[in-house]
Structure 1
Amino acid sequence: MAQFGVNPVVIINQPVSAEKRDWDTGLCNCCADVGICCCGTFCTLCLGCQIAGSMNECCLCGTSMAMRTLVRTKYRITGSLCGDWWTTMLCLPCSLCQIKREINHHN
């Protein structure tokens, strides 16, 4: 169905850059947002629920490795499943604070 010697090109998916980046703030960078840091320290589950709500996920998912992986994938942040697991297991409050700061930065 070429007209005038031009073949039509059908684009099925929008091309996306495969470049990845680092987190906006470090894992222990509490000074970036003291309010989030206090919430993560004194009410970890509340912060987890806030994160899950902002990502339209189940409240119980907010404190899991899966939520960290979801955020990392959505915002094209470098890392791995193994790294997400270790970060979540070793310092859950710091992990949640970092996730919340990242979400706030993108919203």
Structure 2
Amino acid sequence: MINDLQLYLTTGFILLFVSQCYITYILYQQQHSKLWFFIGMMLPLGMNLYIYQICYIEKQVDNDFGQLTGKERKQLRKAYLFVLAQYLVLFALFGGYVTP
């Protein structure tokens, strides 16, 4: 039978994978580029989003995010929310693992 730890780890890693796929989808939707799709899948835990921000967004808007369209801002907020969710899941899994 599957014990509780295996269930939590499996569920956590599935959530991490699904959120990573959604972030990758958002990056691909923004740029329509297979390069950003590849970067999105290879760099976990929001590193792909931060690289996208450095390479594209900051050059486009010059640190004034009000210049982004409403759709772009909404998609980026979702992506950052999923990055936060990834870290929360990781902290929960790690905390549950190291707690006696």
Going by fraction, where is helix more abundant, 1 or 2? 2
Give TM-score scaled by structure 1 length.
0.26
Give TM-score scaled by structure 2 length.
0.27
User: Highest CA radius of gyration, 1 or 2?
Assistant: 1
